[in-house]
Amino acid sequence: GDAGGRAHFVFVPLMAQGHLIPAVDTALLLATHGAVCTIAGTPATAARVRPTVDSARRSGLQVRLVEFPLDYAAAGMPEGADNADNVPAEHMRSYFGAMARLREPIESYLRARAPFPTCVVSDFCHPWTTVLAANLGVPRLSFFSMCAFCLLCQHNVERFKAFEGIAADDEPVVVPGLEKKVAVTRAQAPGFFRGSAAWEVFADYIERAQAEADGVIMNTFEEMEPEYVAGYAAARKMKVWAIGPVSLYHQQRAATLAARGYATAAIDAGECLRWLDGKEPGSVVYVSFGSIARAGAKQAVELGLGLEASGHPFIWVVRNAHEYDAAARAFLDELEARVAGRGLLVRGWAPQVLILSHAAVGGFVTHCGWNSTLEAVAAGLPVVTWPHFTDQFLNEKMAVEVLGIGVSVGVTEPLMYRAVEKEIVVGRGVVEAAVRSVMGGGEEAEERRRRARALAAKARVAMQKGGSSHGNLLDLVKRFKAV
């Protein structure tokens, strides 16, 4: 078709599920509003999102996916570290450096094909896209799959030097300049609060992605956190487009919903739905720690025992079961046999949003990755919060203290990437109590559920015609149309 006059967004997502999935959803949303979108990445990026993009193309959206091979070895990367979600923290900086090698091929590709881009929308971890946009002579917007509350906390901690003079990593400090009194330790947000060398690269990139960009796109919605969206925009003097929850793009689209994020889920979507169809409304608890965080073998056994003791039906995503020792693997098999019919174990990738959208699901034990947290909001579900690292502790504060839809398992220290084998951090009794509290009856639980449902209703309205996120998407398409 004729794309003249249309906005053409070039997406450069980061190759990590929690960044990639919402960026692709955003591209698809912009395309439904009339934009042309090009998603540029590595072959590994493309493989993960191709089914979703192909399905969107079949429904007539102008979205294309282009892949550019990358020589990771030449960039000094360890073997197999082709995705940011399997790069060890100490290699993060060189991984991001390697990604910068994509600038030239992406630029030549874009120059050689019509329509010419009108805007670059890139992950906050890609500072080199500022140069890409400048060379093309178009604006760069930074894409954040974070909430405004989190980014404002990060900003205020830096601006007011909140941790200056605080020696201990585990000393809680009240984040300055917020309406809500929220206390965090430096250790709880590696990369968000400076202090941990391996993660400092994130703090640098978060800052640059704001200082060097022409605006930010956030996967959040104004009605959920009006004071923080406005407060953030004012504090950073930044143009903000809140366009979420982007997962709602998939609401009426069974095909993309089942494929979201991965070509090969570890369980058939139909099987999952059939299993859920047999359960009472609101009775099932869904348990997942996202794409990076993982429970060590001992912790997994403890978590399993807690779920069993809770008495509630559950779907438990044990993504890294293959890494466990024989004893833990045997435990999982035995548990599965004991709770047959009541518990479903998924050893790999689960169709999360599809599961969360099912009426049988009544709660979500989450690591508080922002996408998962917002997906819970969009589905109207209360959460049990079990943060591990990066922005997850801040998201926990958001869910528990700001939104009032969560019960914390009480993790106080970061559970670092791949360093969680050794310990049981959360005991089975705590798991059981938190699940019972979120899934059970009683005044408090009811109120939590009411708040979660009310937020979901607002989310839906935000994404519909006349809603705030819908309006912000339209504004992007209008503002960045070709002249």
317 is a contact residue toward ligand UDP (CB under 6 A) = yes
Instruction: Break the chain down into helix, strand, coil percent, rounded to 5.
Output: 50, 15, 40
Of positions 261, 313, 343, 406, contacts ligand UDP by CB under 6 A? 261
Of positions 193, 370, 386, 393, contacts ligand UDP by CB under 6 A? 370
d(CA 283, CA 343): 12
- Output the smallest distance, CB 141 to ligand UDP, in A: 20
Nearer to ligand UDP, 260 or 298 (CB): 260
455 is a contact residue toward ligand UDP (CB under 6 A) = no
- CA-angle at 9, arms to 112 and 24, nearest 5°: 115
d(CA 317, CA 380): 20
- Output the smallest distance, CB 371 to ligand UDP, in A: 3
DSSP for residue 190: B
d(CA 205, CA 221): 23
List, in sequence order, every beta strand (DSSP E) within 386-458.
406-408
Site string for ligand UDP, 271-290 (x = CB under 6 A): -----------------x-x
- Output the smallest distance, CB 316 to ligand UDP, in A: 11
Site string for ligand UDP, 1-20 (x = CB under 6 A): ----------------xx--
Contacting range for ligand UDP; rule: CB under 6 A; set: 31-39, 269-277, 344-352, 455-463: 344-352
β-pair type (173-174, 183-184): antiparallel
d(CA 233, CA 143): 15
d(CA 218, CA 136): 24
- Output the smallest distance, CB 406 to ligand UDP, in A: 14
Q: Provide the 3-class DSSP secondary structure of residue 361.
A: strand
Nearer to ligand UDP, 118 or 352 (CB): 352
Nearer to ligand UDP, 68 or 143 (CB): 143
Site string for ligand UDP, 291-310 (x = CB under 6 A): xxx-----------------
Residue 438, CB-side half-sphere exposure with 13 Å CA sphere: 36
- Output the smallest distance, CB 133 to ligand UDP, in A: 25
Taking residue 325's Cβ as centre, other Cβ atoms within 10 Å add up to: 12
Nearer to ligand UDP, 14 or 40 (CB): 14
Site size toward ligand UDP, by CB under 6 A = 20
375 is a contact residue toward ligand UDP (CB under 6 A) = yes
257 is a contact residue toward ligand UDP (CB under 6 A) = no
Nearer to ligand UDP, 136 or 293 (CB): 293
One DSSP character per residue, 222-278 reads GGGSHHHHHHHHHHHT--EEE---GGGGGTT-HHHHHHTT-SS-SS-HHHHHHHHHT
Per CB under 6 A, residues contacting ligand UDP are 17-18, 21, 260-261, 288, 290-293, 317, 349-350, 352-353, 369-372, 375
